[in-house]
Amino acid sequence: MKKYTLFVGSQYYPRGGWMDLHGEFDSVLEAESCVNDNPTFQDQEGGMECNIEWAHVVDTTTQQIVWVYRARFNQATRRAETTWAAS
């Protein structure tokens, strides 16, 4: 497993947990680029292409969310820049 995992989804078709895993990366920048370069994902259950409406990058060593993306607000935030925390 690489250091960073990317979880993505849409608001309308939530899957939850590991079903939202979109990839593993060596850096946060690689994961961010994945979302920015291709803002869609293939739904595993229905097989349809969906827009990425939210994304979280998780550091697998600390188990903390280090990057948050919200398409609705066209907003991406690094963990160090916000007080938002995962529960």
pLDDT in tens, 44-53: 676 788 889 9
pTM score: 0.79
Tokens of 71: 């398409």
Give CA separation, 3 vs 47, 62, 67, 76, in Å.
28, 9, 13, 20
Confidence of residue 80 (pLDDT cuts 50, 70, 90): very low
Q: What's the confidence (pLDDT) of residue 77?
A: 65
Give the pLDDT confidence of 7-51 residue by residue, as tens digits.
999 886 667 788 899 999 999 999 999 999 988 988 767 678 888
C-beta neighbour count of 77 within 10 angstroms? 15
Query: Residue range 54-81: average pLDDT?
Result: 81
Give CA separation, 2 vs 28, 31, 43, 86, in Å.
11, 11, 23, 20
Q: What are the boundaries of each domain within the chain?
A: 4-79
